[in-house]
Structure 1
Amino acid sequence: MLLLCFLMRVSAVPVGAPAAPLLLLLCLLLPAASCPSSCLCASDIISCSGRGLSSPPAGLPSYASRLDLGHNALLGLSATWLPEPFRRLASLVLCKNTISQIQAGAFALTPHLLSLDLSSNHLTSLNTSVFAGLTELEELLLIGNRITGIGPGSFSDLIGLRRLYLSSNRLTDFPMEIYEGPSRPRNLTHLDLSFNRLSTVPVQTVMSLSLRGGVYLQENPLLCDCTLLALLQYWMWKQYRPLVDFREGYPCRGADSFNCTHVGVSDMPLHVQTYHADPGGRIRVPCPGLTLLDWEESLVFWVTPKTALNSSGSDLDSRLAVLPNGTLEIRGALPGDSGTYGCAVARERYLKPGETLEARVLVGNSSTSSTTGPARRSSTEHFNTAFTTLASCVVSIVLVLLYLYLTPCRGREGRSKDGTGCSGRVMALCSDPRELESGQRRSNGKRVAFLEPPAEELCRTMNSGGGILRSETRTAGKNFTETLGESLKDLMNSNTET
């Protein structure tokens, strides 16, 4: 309709057109979309940042895909803080305001948000109604608020959430709501809890979350113990980026008041061991290098390809369990259990270069026998490779000999200039065709040349009817050997000069 009105305004309308007056009247009555005076509008981006607004300006275009209301004076978000639905809005920026309350249904008119920035506001807590309906949200920024607690189910609707920033708040407890619950964010790949007041963290939960992405815990007053040390040692061995990039931000409180001497670790180098099991079988994988363990004081964590387990809270009746001595047990093994398993425990010594904390598990590998101990590497693959190489060499030699000794003479058609029965030919690998035509015998790079026996003697032998294995061929073979030796000598000399 807007395009039609524009065309009618800029073009001449034929006199007597019956619909022209009606269309002109509609064009005059139809309000044109405009940008509020306190905002800047560019295509589908609306910026009203830094205008001192206490509420959104009237007349915001609802076609916006990005709306920036940051650096203003908004006090709260009610259920009607937006005048109309913004169906196309994907990014909403509300940072640097004074928002302290968010009512239920505040984002009901923006159901397709992908990014929401509420950083640097005055939020103190979160509840189940704050983010209701934002099922498509992928990024949530809550940096620099005053959040001390997160109520159960606060993130239950955020099933598509990938990146969550809770840095620089006042959290004293790890937000388990992120990890637990049937509607928790299952695709979370970035969790920032840095610069809070966490003294302890659920190591098993953090290990599980770190399998999918980054968990940032730097600049928290973490209390040192063997459990935390096991986590940090494992992360450091894995070169986990959130730890490596902010290594100086992990000073532990009470580092001098604890020790982990009750954990014994072998001084022998730790190498990757492979364990095999048949489908449906049982397999036990000991923790690499663990020799002595005080079961009452120490926890051994196993990081599986899907989750993390520990020797204390593990259900011994489940299919995957960690025994009290730190051994991982897999019952009813499935092909999906194959993978790399890492054992994390506070150790007395640092790992040496090349040492590993992991073991491999293979389920259903028919080429090896099932065993519960370290499996020897199968030599089948090595034998197949060696046999294939040897067979290729034999076939190549046979083809070369056939070419050298069984190539028939071409009679008069193949006579050379000197009148011999067969002309001397050269077969070169990776050679320039122009060099072959010119008869050059030089080596550029790596080439191999095979020269046929002198044509006169080979033809004499073939025509004699006695075959190539008669006494006459000895002379030809001798000449061929001498010629080949001279050729190889020339090749070596040319390579040396190069």
Structure 2
Amino acid sequence: MMGGSFWISHGATEALFRGKSFMAVLSLALLLPTVRISAQMKGGPLDCDETCVCASNIVSCSKMNLTNVPTPLPNYTAVLDLSFNNITRLRAGWNPESLNKLHSLILSHNNLTFLSSEAFVFVTKLRYLDLSFNGLRQLDEFIFEPLEHLEVLLLYSNCISQVNRAAFSGLDNLQRLYLSQNKISRFPLELVKDRTRLKALRLLDVSSNKIKTLPLNELKALPAWIKNGLYFHNNPLPCTCDVHDLVASWHLKELSSTMDFKDSHTCLLPGLQKEKMAILDLDKVYLNCSEVTVMGKEAYLEQLLVLDCDSRERDMLKNWVLPGNIPLSPAMKTAVKRHDGSLRLGPLKAEDSGVYTCYATSDSFNETLYVTVTVFNSTKSGGLENLKTAYTTLIACLISLVMVLIYLYLTPCRCACCPGQGLEKSDSFHSSTVSISQAHEEMGQGRGEGRGFAYRHVAFIQPKDPLEQNGRLNPIEEDEECQGDNRERRRSDAESVSSVCSDTPMVV
């Protein structure tokens, strides 16, 4: 009992000695929330002494646990840093006045989950916008359209899974777009493809997302200066030789997107384990893909050929050197430099084969490219012309054969001996018809009497009597007075017809 009383007395004595310091701490603890609440009030005044640092045209309110943007901001503000706060929604009119001098807005490391479609109508002069490390889930159409001067947009480390195809419409000056470490499952081809791509875009980072397929053919067709800034590593791509060919060809051209992240270009092997493998090792270990090499140009005589100086940087000065270290001259007619820096060759000759060198230079970067040209010692159309000639000859032969068959089997028979044919009305053939009938009668008699060979040698004798069996005049002799020299020709014609239509050979 006494011990307990002593303990209480001792505790009361200790509390008495610490009473003043406790009250001071308690007063400070109650004061701080008041200061924070005043700073967090919507539309709360900007305090350059307590909550923000205002240095010249820079306003930094970082790490102040703000839930709203402090207002009003000075009109001279060029850089606004609101990073590492708790701003969850960026509404329309978060600043009531236009900030025409604001070019950099930093909102990283907040809890942003909502962006109003009119969130940027008062800051149209922005060139740098940092929205990284937030909770954004989708990008709606035309959300960034007012930012026509924007050059850099950081959206990495969010939860973005849906990107509207028109989300970046109007950003004609956008040069760098960072979309890595999100949940995007579709490669945004429209951002880099001709006609629809962003005109000034030179860096697109979609690495570390959920992309399972790539538009390989479209990516291969892109110019090197776009591919040099296209990052798609660390995505769950399936291991195929097509993917290997793409990455290997980019690596041979020493593009930054594959050189800087060589080990991060991986793919998933088929199976339940989904084991990762380096894409550049597929030709050695797993799929035994063909080795990728730098290919040159092949052409034929008399063709036109265009050599591209596909440099890794845009808008570079390009100069060509011909095989044999011959500088390109404006006087040359078969080798002409075009306005885009490419080289037009042709009509090609056999001596145009060789290595062509392109020197691409700029103020900060130099690059040398080599193109090997092989000109075959023949025209490309030569083989086709020979083939066409062969087909033409074959068709002509077939047509000739068909005509012969038509002539032999389908030509109407003009002889009286043919089945179904009666006596010809022509007088010139009448005597021949009579001779043919007599020959058939003799053949029939021989066949019935002797019962031997059915054919006998018979000579057709022209009757001398001007009157035939039917009492008519012999047409040949009748025409002697009028025809003159035609007499012999008609006689020979009649005899020739008789020989053709007779079943027996003639014996004279």
Task: Please report the TM-score for the alignment, with normalisation by the length of structure 1.
Answer: 0.49
More helix by share: 2
Structure with more contact order per residue of length (Cα contacts < 8 Å, sep ≥ 6): 1
Higher Rg: 2
Superposition TM-score, scaled by structure 2 size: 0.48
